[in-house]
A and B are shown apart, each in its own frame.
Chain A
Amino acid sequence: MVFSSLTFLLYFFPVVLALYFVRSGIRWRNGVLLAASLFFYAWGEPTWILAMLASALINYFCALAMQGKKGAARKTWLWIGAGSALGLLFVFKYLSFFVNAFLGIFSSAVRIPVLELPIGISFYTFQILTYTVDVYRGKQKPQPSFARLLLYVSCFPQLIAGPIVRYGDISKEIASRSVSPDDFSAGMKRFLVGLGKKVLVANVCAEIMNKLPLAGAASLSLGGAWYAAAIYTLQLYFDFSGYSDMAIGLGRMFGFHYKENFDHPYWSASVREFWRRWHISLGSFFREYVYIPLGGNREGKGRTIRNTLIVWGLTGLWHGANWTFILWGLYYGALLTIDLIGGRKLTKALPGAVSRVLTLALVMVGWVIFYYPTIGQAFSHLGAMFGFGQGLMDENALGVIRTYSILPVIYFLVSLPTGEWLKTLTARMNLSPRVGEIAGALVMLALAAYSVIFIEGLSSNPFIYFQF
């Protein structure tokens, strides 16, 4: 099920809320949430829910089996648990890619079929891993109740597209939590902001993208290529951060406090800063569970560069079994390596505005690689961006740009920390808190109404991050 679908908004969401609050005990509320989460997943993936259940069950037993054991025995259970979760991910997501790539080396015409990817498998696999690894490390106690562990893995707000919630972050709230009216309204506000980002911005950007000539078109010009890259840059941010906002908001309405996943990434002055602001939960996972165990930056520059490239290659691969994703990951690995060996000093020497524009341009180049299914198409588009296309501006792109020139500017401004700037500004105006309260409530109602209108009025698009 998709948050921005009518099925979710008109039925699932209000009915689950009503059932959740009809009684106050944690057993009832966890039960409602677990049943709702399994229904939520099964609505779109009636078969592959079994894969999630199997992965959670194996890791539940493995974590319990680690109790009281030390050394190799403990490690064996870690390998069984983590291996089963990663093995499942590998089979569904990567097996056909690697086998077919291998067969391709020998010019074999034989190909194994690409399996249908269970939705959210990359996200819930990583969540399961944080549980098993943290239990192994002794940071967390094994969860004695399978239902509670399953609730952590399958909790519908973050199940399908994150943020990747670490077990330690919400283990206490699974056992005991409360929702105040302020929590509820703050969660609702956050949910509606996320819904608006997805429906009012990301979907409109998707419509614009559909009208633009892209790689493979007879006329991909320099201006058209940069404009398309800019629109996709906006679409991706509003799509994914909108989903994260909705997840965080929904979580809060049910008493969970998820960590932030985005922090105005396009306001970054360096690529390193960008990755501290973009998909924070993924970056933090790789830092905690891959980069640091590999040695991090403690074993000299050479090892640090190696570890950086490994982490970014894996980050790219996590997004999908495709060479463009691997290239995209390595692109960031290379940029961060340059940053490490001296680029950081150069960036700091630049005026703030220049470094922000430069960072944004580098990020846009990255998104072009990310967008296309083949490296050839990506390079064709990048070629046009750097003057090897069909002139400065083509007629088709110009028609679209002239139609959609105001909205992207507004969207870009919204992607910056303008909300915080506005808050500072209104604080200086000494407005009555009641005025702000009423204005906020009206904005919420308007967002809800307009979102429903746009869901119905524009052709909807699935969340981009669902495919990962």
Chain B
Amino acid sequence: MKHKIRFIASVVCVVALLVTGIFVMLFSRKQSTPSEKENRMLQGFPRLSAGTLFSGEFSKQFDDFLSDNFTGRDAMVDAAEGTLKLFDAVKGDEAFEKKARQMEQDLAREGAAGEESEGSQEGEVFEEDSVVLSASEIPIDSRKSYQWYVKTDGTLSLKYEYLKTNVDTYAETLRLLKSCLPADGVIDFVQVPLAQQANRWRDQQDIYSGWGSSMEMMLTQSLGGAANINVYSAWNLLAPYVCSEPPMFYFTDHHWSAEAAYIVASAMLEDQGLPVIPYDEYSYKSITSSAVDEKGRRDVFNVLYPLTPVHSYVVSGGKEHEIGLMAYDVATYTSFMNGSREPWRRITTQAGTGRRALVICDSFGNAFTPYLLAYYDEVHMCDFRYGYYDHTAAGGYIKDNIARYGIDDVYIIISSANDLRKDNSIKYLRKYLGF
């Protein structure tokens, strides 16, 4: 043997790979669990049946399961990114930061900002009870807006802050997006709290009596009365229902419920002068979650059956592949819209209204979109989060597809995980739009 050491290293490699495999299989979580960091459900161990095996679903889900449950996953993500950063010539995304700074300087020069300019940066997350205000003080100023809880003693506990520079950048993005739509086209925007935020209030009603957000007010101001761009406050719309039944947010999952999505969708449709279909006029399949939360609660996913026949397609690489509108046999949030699909989703209906809508969203859009199907001939969906939108596979940037498909109205549904403090909303949405 010429290369004894190399042979030993080869055998060590093979054994190490197998041991790692056994370790992952023994110690990984077999049930699907939510990842707050990635705002999605991590894949659980797939269900083995003849159906899943021959459809290829089992193999795909098994690959995803290994990837999602790999021991030390976060550390590996950090290690890979850290390694690449070693070779960075400059800090990443400088172009976007430069653009944000430029915009801010322009505003300052025009006197619109009227305040000392700061670099674009992520808003602060407050420690619990670190800032306490009286409930009569509206938490908004010329530079920042906030999200807060109202405590039972009448004080406000600030949770997040939103920088005006970021809000202005976002308003500019919305104006650019509006310029791609027909004159009567509407943009409706809503930012939705995470289930953890809502259930904190619901489960601790001895401490909390409400919540609020002034970001929406600041965004409306930044839009400067731009026509047909409407900002909705999910905090206000859902506040009356957070502590009542049915739950507005899930317990085993970080998403909002179908009922909460219906309330927001109804408010938007009503403002457009459309007749709102009562919630009970829809038929639903009620699916009870297999998972339970730490209090032993299960969720019920009410997945609607559309009122007219629909066809749902994933559009990728110039091809359309039909998939089920919903996954009625899945006991997780993925049942809504059959999960988030990249890069582009097209749903055709027989609504006969002659209008087409686009939902730009993270996974929170999946519970919301079903309530648009009765109002549009086509509903399109795309996910604006980093890495989700591949403009080559999607056939162009979002603005190109708005023109291609003749989109009339756009709904932007984002969760707090991707809110106006985050790169996804501030940088990548604009990039994927194609501006």
Q: Is the CB of B13 within 8 A of A188?
A: yes
A47 to B396 alpha-carbon distance, docked (Å) = 32
A9 to B400 alpha-carbon distance, docked (Å) = 40
The interface residues of chain B lying within 8 Å CB-to-CB of A457 are 76-81
Is B37 interfacial (CB 8 A cutoff)? no
- List the one stretch of B93-101, B136-144, B247-255 in contact with chain A: B93-101
Q: Is the CB of B76 within 8 A of A14?
A: no
Is A247 interfacial (CB 8 A cutoff)? no
Instruction: Decide: A218 near B434, CB < 8 A? Known: A5-B63, A6-B70.
Output: yes
Q: Is the CB of B1 within 8 A of A182?
A: yes
Is A210 interfacial (CB 8 A cutoff)? yes
Q: Distance (Å) between the CB of A254 and the closest chain B CB? A: 13
Q: Is the CB of A444 within 8 A of B13?
A: yes
Is B66 interfacial (CB 8 A cutoff)? yes
Q: Is the CB of A7 within 8 A of B63?
A: yes
Is B391 interfacial (CB 8 A cutoff)? yes
Q: Is the CB of A10 within 8 A of B66?
A: yes
A178 to B426 alpha-carbon distance, docked (Å) = 60
Q: Is the CB of B12 within 8 A of A218?
A: no
Query: DSSP class of B's interface residues: helix, strand, loop or mixed?
Result: helix
Q: Is the CB of A184 within 8 A of B63?
A: no
Q: Is the CB of B13 within 8 A of A204?
A: no
* Interfacial residues of chain A within 76-97, with CB under 8 A of chain B in the complex: none
Is B352 interfacial (CB 8 A cutoff)? no
Q: Is the CB of B18 within 8 A of A216?
A: no
Is A432 interfacial (CB 8 A cutoff)? no
Is B183 interfacial (CB 8 A cutoff)? no
The interface residues of chain B lying within 8 Å CB-to-CB of A438 are 5
Q: For A402, give the chain B residue with the smallest CB separation.
A: B90
The interface residues of chain B lying within 8 Å CB-to-CB of A6 are 21, 24, 63, 66-67, 70
Q: Is the CB of B9 within 8 A of A441?
A: yes
Contact with A along B6-47 (1 / 0, CB 8 A): 111110111111101100100000000000000000000000
Q: Is the CB of B21 within 8 A of A10?
A: yes
Is A413 interfacial (CB 8 A cutoff)? no
Q: For A371, give the chain B residue with the smallest CB separation.
A: B392
Q: Is the CB of A406 within 8 A of B79?
A: no
Q: For B317, give the chain A residue with the smallest CB separation.
A: A373
Q: Is the CB of B434 within 8 A of A216?
A: yes
The interface residues of chain A lying within 8 Å CB-to-CB of B284 are none
Is A456 interfacial (CB 8 A cutoff)? yes
Q: Is the CB of A399 within 8 A of B95?
A: yes
Q: Distance (Å) between the CB of A410 and the closest chain B CB? A: 7
Q: Is the CB of A182 within 8 A of B3?
A: yes
The interface residues of chain A lying within 8 Å CB-to-CB of B10 are 184-185, 188-189, 444
Is A176 interfacial (CB 8 A cutoff)? no
Q: Is the CB of B7 within 8 A of A44?
A: no
- List the one stretch of B53-61, B157-165, B205-213, B411-419 in contact with chain A: B53-61
Contact of B84 among A14, A46, A47, A204 (CB under 8 A): A204
Instruction: Decide: A395 near B7, CB < 8 A? Known: A43-B59, A210-B390.
Output: no
Q: Is the CB of A46 within 8 A of B56?
A: yes
Q: For B392, give the chain A residue with the smallest CB separation.
A: A214
Instruction: Decide: A14 near B89, CB < 8 A? Known: A182-B1, A216-B400, A396-B95.
Output: no
A406 to B70 alpha-carbon distance, docked (Å) = 30
The interface residues of chain A lying within 8 Å CB-to-CB of B305 are none
Instruction: Decide: A444 near B6, CB < 8 A? Known: A216-B396, A373-B318, A395-B99.
Output: yes
Q: For A374, give the chain B residue with the smallest CB separation.
A: B318
Is B232 interfacial (CB 8 A cutoff)? no
Is A440 interfacial (CB 8 A cutoff)? yes
Q: Distance (Å) between the CB of A3 and the closest chain B CB? A: 12
Instruction: Decide: A185 near B3, CB < 8 A? Known: A403-B92, A406-B89.
Output: yes
Q: For A180, give the chain B residue with the smallest CB separation.
A: B1
Of B10, B96, B391, B392, the most chain A CB neighbours within 10 A belong to: B10
Query: DSSP class of A's interface residues: helix, strand, loop or mixed?
Result: helix
Contact of B70 among A14, A373, A402, A456 (CB under 8 A): A456
A204 to B80 alpha-carbon distance, docked (Å) = 10
Q: Distance (Å) between the CB of B423 and the closest chain A CB? A: 12
The interface residues of chain A lying within 8 Å CB-to-CB of B78 are 457
Q: Is the CB of A453 within 8 A of B80?
A: yes
Instruction: Decide: A410 near B89, CB < 8 A? Known: A395-B99, A456-B77.
Output: no
Is B280 interfacial (CB 8 A cutoff)? no
Instruction: Decide: A15 near B18, CB < 8 A? Known: A188-B10, A395-B95, A406-B87.
Output: yes
Q: Is the CB of A189 within 8 A of B96?
A: no
The interface residues of chain A lying within 8 Å CB-to-CB of B56 are 44-47
Is A53 interfacial (CB 8 A cutoff)? no
Is B241 interfacial (CB 8 A cutoff)? no
* Interfacial residues of chain A within 391-447, with CB under 8 A of chain B in the complex: 395-396, 398-400, 402-407, 410, 434, 437-438, 440-442, 444-445
Of B9, B73, B93, B387, the most chain A CB neighbours within 10 A belong to: B9
Contact with A along B417-435 (1 / 0, CB 8 A): 0000000000000010011
A5 to B53 alpha-carbon distance, docked (Å) = 18
* Interfacial residues of chain B within 380-403, with CB under 8 A of chain A in the complex: 387, 390-392, 395-397, 400
A456 to B21 alpha-carbon distance, docked (Å) = 13
* Interfacial residues of chain A within 296-330, with CB under 8 A of chain B in the complex: none
The interface residues of chain A lying within 8 Å CB-to-CB of B3 are 181-182, 185-186, 437, 440
Contact of A441 among B1, B6, B21, B83 (CB under 8 A): B6
Of all A-B residue pairs in the complex, the 10 with the closest CB atoms, nearest first, are A399-B95, A457-B80, A10-B21, A441-B9, A188-B10, A14-B18, A185-B6, A6-B66, A456-B76, A185-B7
**10 A–B contacts from the bound complex (CB under 8 Å):** A6-B67, A13-B17, A14-B21, A44-B59, A216-B396, A217-B397, A403-B89, A403-B93, A406-B89, A437-B3
Given contacts A218-B435, A450-B83, 18 further A-B contacts (CB under 8 A): A10-B21, A14-B18, A14-B21, A15-B18, A180-B1, A182-B1, A185-B9, A188-B14, A216-B434, A373-B392, A374-B318, A396-B95, A396-B431, A399-B96, A400-B95, A403-B92, A437-B3, A456-B80
**Chain B interface (Cβ within 8 Å of chain A)?**
1-10, 12-18, 20-21, 24, 53-56, 59, 62-63, 66-67, 70, 73, 76-81, 83-84, 87-96, 98-99, 317-319, 387, 390-392, 395-397, 400, 431, 434-435
